[in-house]
Structure 1
């Protein structure tokens, strides 16, 4: 299931190389999230989600952070658990 949402992107990290003969290539996005409601939770946190390869990092590294962006996310399941995948990220403006 694909859906779009607005997110405040706090930063990003690129990671590309080889470890024990195995190549790796990814971009991690750090975004603003609210903590769940409850007696032992208050405020907000920074969360992270993978966004494809390091080529995605090149698309946004020149921008000023934090930034507001429209994120396209996909929820997929293997029949036991659900995972959310960041498919696309389009910067819209700097958050207020």
Structure 2
């Protein structure tokens, strides 16, 4: 997809779609996010969680990586992005 096309669609979102969701986005800013569903999916560009589920802004907390991989638990102090995302989703 050419960059110009992507930028044009972003402009259309701001002018056409964003106004429809303005109050919902403002609520997410004011009250913070409290998604009801953790969605672990592949980072494949053909997978679009919001289209697949019909979810709206603030409903899904997304973890996306190659192969939708969830590593086994490791109690070390290393960097564990997927574990941190799961912890946030459960605690929020």
TM-score normalised by the chain length of structure 2 = 0.25
TM-score normalised by the chain length of structure 1 = 0.24
Q: Which has the higher strand share?
A: 1
Q: Which has the higher helix share?
A: 2
